[in-house]
Structure 1
Amino acid sequence: MVNEQVRLGPVATWFPATAARVATLAEMDELPAHRREHALALGIETVRTADELSEVDLAAAAAASALAEAGLEATDVDALLFVTGRAPQYLLASETTRLQHRIGATRAFTTGVGDLGCVSVSAALALAAALVRADAGYRTVLVVAAAKTPTRNRYRAPMTLLGDGAAALLVTATGGGQWEFVDQILRSDGKYADLFRIDYRETPSDAWIEECSDESTYSFRLAVESKKRFDVIIAELLERNGVRAGAVGPILMQNLSGGAFAFWEEALDATIDEVCRRNLTTYGHLGSVDMLVNLGAAADTRTSGAYALLLNSSPVAAWSAALMRRV
C-alpha cells in the first residue's frame, strides 16, 4: 500500500535559557575591525548558548516537546531521523542511537542524516516522506535537528553568526499536522565539498577554527551558481506540481544575515517571509534547524490551502526547494 499524502507537524523548538547579545560576545573584541563591523551588521541581535549541553541534549528536549504536542509516546515512533551535527561529542560513537535511547523510541528504525550542512534537514525530510509514502509500516516518523557551535567562536566569516538550539517535527500518513509535504528537489555539487572546514586532527578542540578556504569563491562564484541552481529547481518544482510562481507567497529560507535576505529578494524577485528575519534577529544561524524553526513559525501566518516554498542551501554545496501546503 502506498500512502500518497504526507503531513508535517507539529513542529516543536527548544532553546537553551541562556541568551547572549552579539555585541557583548567576548570574541567581538578579538576580531579585526572589519570583521567585527561585519559581525555586528548581520542583523543578529542575540543568540542562545548551550554551554555544557550537548547536541543530543538539545535534540532530546525538542523531540519530547514535539511528541507531547502531538499526544504521542516515543514508542509510537516508527522511524527516528536525527540530523546530526558536524562535530559529534565522540568519534566512532553514535549520536543517533544515543538520542533514540534518551527519548525511549525503542522500536523505531533509527538513522542519522548529515554531511550536507544546512541542507541535511532537507535530505531528512525527503527520506521521511519516502518512508511514509512507500511503506505502510512507517506511519509516524520523527525528524530532529540540533545545532551547537563547534568552535569557541560563533562568528563564521564571511557568512553569519551561530546560535544554539533544536527543533523536531512529526512526519505522518495519518492526517493532522500543520503542512502537507507536496514535493521537493535537492541537488549538490562536490567541487565545493571542503570550502568551509575545520582542520581538527592535530588541533585540540579549544583551538578549532572554522575556515573558508576561498572567500571570493563563496561570495561570488558560489552565489552566482546558487542563483542559477535555484532558478532551475524552483521552476521545475512548481511546473511539475502545477503551481504558479506567484501562488506561493513569501519564501522561507535559512537565516544567515539581513544582507543575504536582501540579495535573494533581488536575485529571485521574491519576498522573504518576515518570520525568517525575526528568527535571525533572535537566534542567529542554526544550521539545519533554521528551516524547521521558520516552517513552524510560518504555520501561524498561512491560511488553509496556502503554499509555502522553502529554499535551503549549503556551502558544501547543496541546494533544495520544497513545496508545502498549509492544512
Structure 2
Amino acid sequence: MPLHIRRIATFLPERVCPVADLPELAAAGDAQRTAVLRLGVERVRDAGDLGEVPLAAGAATAALAATGTDPAQVDVLLLVQGRAPEHLLSSEATRVQRLVGATNAVTLGVGELGCVSSSAALAVCSGLFAANPGWRTGLVTMGARVATAARYRPPMTVLGDGGLAALVTSYPGGGFRLVDQILTSNGEYADLFRIRYRDRPASRWQEECTDPHTYSFRLALESRRRLADLNAELLARNGLRADQVRYVMQNLSTGAFAFWQEALDVELLPVCVRNLREYGHLGSADVLLNLAGAAPALRAGEKVLVMNSSPVAAWSSALFEYLPDDERKEGTPR
C-alpha cells in the first residue's frame, strides 16, 4: 500500500538557547568546551516546562490545520516515543490523541529504536493502511526534549527540543511518496547509550555511553557497512543509480556529516547542515525535518534517499519521491 506524506509540520519552542551559553559549558574544561563548539550546533530551542506530549500534539495540530484536515477524520495516530516518558504506566499516545482531537483514530506508540523509530513508524503506518483498505489518513507525530540537565551528549551532539508531525495518506495529495524502505537492527548495542534512573532523582540523571571505544570504532564501522548495503539494495531494487537521487540523514555534527559523505561517497543536501546549526539534534524528528526542508531544492519527481541510524543500534534507508501539489512547496519549519 503506497504511503504519501502530505505535510510535515513542526512545533518549535520560541525560546532560543545559544550553545555557547549552555550551563554545562560554564563548568566544562577547555577541551570539552572546544569539542562542543566544534560540533556545528550554534543554537537549540528550549521547551522549558513543556514535555514531549504537548510538543508532539502541537506539531500534529499544525499539520492538521495546514492541510485543512478534520481531526475526526484521522484513521490512525502513531506517537514516536521520546527520550523519557513523563510518567510510567500512563499512555502518552492516547494523551496526544485527546489533545489533538483525533477521537476516531486507532492510536499506538512506536519506539525502542532511537532515531530510527520515526522510520519504523512510517513502516507501521504503511502496513496498517494495507491491512485496512478503508483507512485514508494518518498522523505520525513525535516530541523531542532533553531528558537530563545537560544538552551535550558526549561525544556526538547537542540535544534540542521540538515537535514534528507528518500527516500521511494512502492516496496522492502532494508532498512525498514513500517508494521503498529497509530497516534493520542489531541488539548487541542495545544499552550502548542509557540513562539510569531507578536509583537516583531526576536532577542526577545523565546520558552515558557505556563503551566509547565501541561507539567510536566498532559501531562506526558496522554502521558504514550497514548503510552502504542498505543503500545499494534499495537503489538496485528500484532500478536507480547512486547519482540519480539526493541524500539526507539525521543531524549529529558537521564532523559526522563529513564522515558519512566520504564513507558512503554521497553528497548530503545543505539543509542538513542548516538544521543542525539552528536546532541541534532532534532525535527521531531529524530526518523528516531535513526531508521537508529539502523540498525547495527539488524538482517534481526527484528522488531523495533518507538515511537514518541510531546507536541502539538500528539503521534505515528510505526512498521518497517528491510530488509537489499546486499550493506550496513543503519545507520551511513552522
Q: 1:98 aligns with which of 90, 95, 112?
A: 95
Q: 2:179 aligns with which of 174, 178, 182?
A: 182
Separation in 2, partners of 1:302, 1:254: 19
Q: 1:51 aligns with which of 44, 48, 52?
A: 48
- CA contact 2:271–2:294 (8 Å) conserved in 1: yes
Q: Deviations over 1:177-233 (max 9, x none)?
A: 301110000000000000000111001011101000111111111000000001111
Q: Name the SS of the counterpart of 1:300 in structure 2.
A: helix
- How many residues align? The count is 323
Q: How does 1:191-230 map to 2 (within 5 A)?
A: 191-230=188-227
Alpha-carbon distance, 1:132 to partner: 2.1
> Does residue 169 of structure 2 align to residue 172 of structure 1?
yes
> Does residue 282 of structure 2 align to residue 300 of structure 1?
no
- Structure 2: tracts of 5 or more residues without a match: 324-334
Q: 2:287 aligns with which of 291, 299, 304?
A: 291
> Does residue 319 of structure 2 align to residue 323 of structure 1?
yes
Q: In the alignment, what sits opposite 2:262?
A: 266
Alpha-carbon distance, 1:129 to partner: 1.5
Separation in 2, partners of 1:30, 1:120: 34
Letter in 2 for 1:298: A
Q: 1:238 aligns with which of 219, 235, 238?
A: 235
> Does residue 29 of structure 2 align to residue 32 of structure 1?
yes
> Does residue 44 of structure 2 align to residue 21 of structure 1?
no
Separation in 2, partners of 1:284, 1:150: 15
Q: 1:248 aligns with which of 241, 245, 248?
A: 245
- CA contact 2:122–2:140 (8 Å) conserved in 1: yes
Q: In the alignment, what sits opposite 2:332?
A: none
Alpha-carbon distance, 1:300 to partner: 1.8
- CA contact 2:308–2:317 (8 Å) conserved in 1: yes
Q: How does 1:50-89 map to 2 (within 5 A)?
A: 50-89=47-86
- CA contact 1:35–1:157 (8 Å) conserved in 2: no
> Does residue 133 of structure 2 align to residue 131 of structure 1?
no
Alpha-carbon distance, 1:145 to partner: 1.2
Letter in 2 for 1:271: E
Q: Name the SS of the counterpart of 2:271 in structure 1.
A: helix
Q: Deviations over 1:145-164 (max 9, x none)?
A: 11000001000000100000
Q: 1:282 aligns with which of 278, 282, 285?
A: 278
Separation in 1, partners of 2:226, 2:310: 12
Separation in 2, partners of 1:256, 1:177: 29
Q: Name the SS of the counterpart of 2:160 in structure 1.
A: coil
> Does residue 103 of structure 2 align to residue 120 of structure 1?
no
| Root-mean-square deviation over aligned CA pairs | 0.9
